[in-house]
Amino acid sequence: MRYSALRILKEGLTGNKGWKPVWREPEPKPEYDVIIIGGGGHGLATAYYLAKEHGITNVAVLEKGWIGGGNVGRNTTIIRSNYLLPGNEPFYELSLKLWEGLEQDFNYNAMISQRSILNLVHTDAQRDAFVRRGNAMFLAGADAEYADAKQLREELPFLDFDNARFPIKGGLFQRRGGTVRHDAVAWGFARGADSRGVDIIQNCEVTGFDIKDGVCRGVETTRGAIRARKVAMCVSGSSGRVAAQAGMRLPIESHVLQAFVTEGLKPVIPGVITFGAGHFYVSQSDKGGLVFGGDIDGYNSYAQRGNLPVVEDVAEGGMAIMPMIGRARLLRSWGGIMDMSMDGSPFIDRTHIGGLYFNGGWCYGGFKATPGSGWCYAHLLAKDAPHPAASEMRLDRFRRGHMIDEKGQGNQPNLH
């Protein structure tokens, strides 16, 4: 069924009896061409682009719980492509371009809102670094705009420009950045993949891999063994646990990241704003809640809940740039598990096991990458060669010394 305004009108006049479930609930078949482990945003996007762009439809997406129940439903919904390094920026710009056409492409309202993202600048050195980043963005075909404090005072008068410790001296805009309704991304990709023949199998946990003579021929699951020519891991956050079943150790630690939302307020924050002297990012949802987050807690965790010191740290970051939010009451906070990689950048690659592929290590930046990740992973699975935009996102890059370390922090995952 194609969604349109006319369809809504017609259904509204006929008692809304024509709406159908948007994906099937099939039983797993004994064999597929491709099995994707993980029914999150990236896994569903991969299945969608495999079917749509490469014509590979004999595909199963295996999800331990329900689709979209992991990080695609736990993030702060920000999309952007304001990276610096050549191993990253072309990929994220590809992803942002896919976001821009996504709703028309999969005929689903994901409420993509290009309301801009602003990275605030508090020192002269930081201004130089951000202008350089803006130039790197231009080189990859992205947009960037440096705004000085005078311009920002006119545009965002509520910021604490004269903060004694972190005065706001300007900021780097990416006007094409913004926010998305994250659940709808999972649902839209699922619907698009399902309608092209992909089996989305929920409540199906992978419990082992069928690996013989260095080749993966399928997986063991809680719903029986399933054979496949290609098996694609796509479980960022839990990559360590799933890869361990294949005997793999990864350049990844799992960490918990918390996010927060306040009670609904009248519109006060027009775009996404990030603090430059600490870690705090905020936007306002269409329902009015301020959606914000900050640093990861900093210790290995699979617990999907964090601790209070980080809550305090995030709140302090918010108060340092916009004291007006101090009266807003927190409605909810939650945690998600991040694959924190050794250089802060992800992996889309083959593994050393034949027929087994890996997508993970997204740190806390995976949501914006969803369509790009699916696009590049589908390309890798279909053609057995990395997509040019993801050609540096390899598992062996540490061995070769080709890290993609945006922050220059080295091999300490909790600092990325």
Partner 1 sequence: MIINHPLLGPRDAAEFIYLGDATLIDRPDPTAADAAEAFHEYGYIRDNIAGKMQELWYHEQGDRSWLVVTRDTLTHEITDVEMARDVARSRGRST
Residues in contact with partner 1 by CB under 8 A are 239-241, 244, 249-254, 298-303, 307, 309, 342, 398-399, 411-414
Q: Which residue has tokens 């762009």?
A: 53
If the CB atoms of residues 150 and 305 are measured against partner 1, the closer one turns out to be 305
> Shortest gap between Cβ of 74 and partner 1 (angstroms)?
17
Count of Cβ atoms closer than 10 Å to residue 114 Cβ: 18
If the CB atoms of residues 222 and 412 are measured against partner 1, the closer one turns out to be 412
If the CB atoms of residues 132 and 402 are measured against partner 1, the closer one turns out to be 402
**What's the start-to-end Cα distance of the chain, in Å?**
43
Tell me which H or E stretch contains 102: helix 89-106
Which residues have C-beta within 8 Å of that of residue 24, sequence separation ≥ 6? 194, 199, 200
If the CB atoms of residues 90 and 344 are measured against partner 1, the closer one turns out to be 344
Q: What angle do CA 313, 85, 175 make, to 5 degrees?
A: 70
- Burial class from Cβ neighbours inside 10 Å (0-12, 13-18, 19+) for residue 139 reads exposed
Amino acid at 340: M
If the CB atoms of residues 84 and 395 are measured against partner 1, the closer one turns out to be 395
**CA–CA distance, 333 with 310 (Å, rounded to integer):** 11
- Cβ atoms of 248 and 351 within 8 Å: the answer is yes
- Please report the DSSP string for 48-91 in residue order: HHHHHHH----EEEE-SSSTT-SGGGTS--EE-----STTTHHH
If the CB atoms of residues 135 and 412 are measured against partner 1, the closer one turns out to be 412
Tell me which H or E stretch contains 188: helix 182-195
> Shortest gap between Cβ of 412 and partner 1 (angstroms)?
8
If the CB atoms of residues 76 and 301 are measured against partner 1, the closer one turns out to be 301
> Shortest gap between Cβ of 69 and partner 1 (angstroms)?
18
- Cβ atoms of 15 and 186 within 8 Å: the answer is no
> Shortest gap between Cβ of 343 and partner 1 (angstroms)?
9
For residue 164, the Cα-to-chain-centroid distance in whole angstroms is 35
If the CB atoms of residues 116 and 254 are measured against partner 1, the closer one turns out to be 254
> Shortest gap between Cβ of 235 and partner 1 (angstroms)?
12
> Shortest gap between Cβ of 353 and partner 1 (angstroms)?
16
Q: How is residue 32 written in tokens?
A: 């597929």
> Shortest gap between Cβ of 152 and partner 1 (angstroms)?
33
Q: How is residue 281 written in tokens?
A: 């990012």
> Shortest gap between Cβ of 297 and partner 1 (angstroms)?
9
If the CB atoms of residues 206 and 250 are measured against partner 1, the closer one turns out to be 250
Q: How is residue 218 written in tokens?
A: 């399928």
> Shortest gap between Cβ of 303 and partner 1 (angstroms)?
6
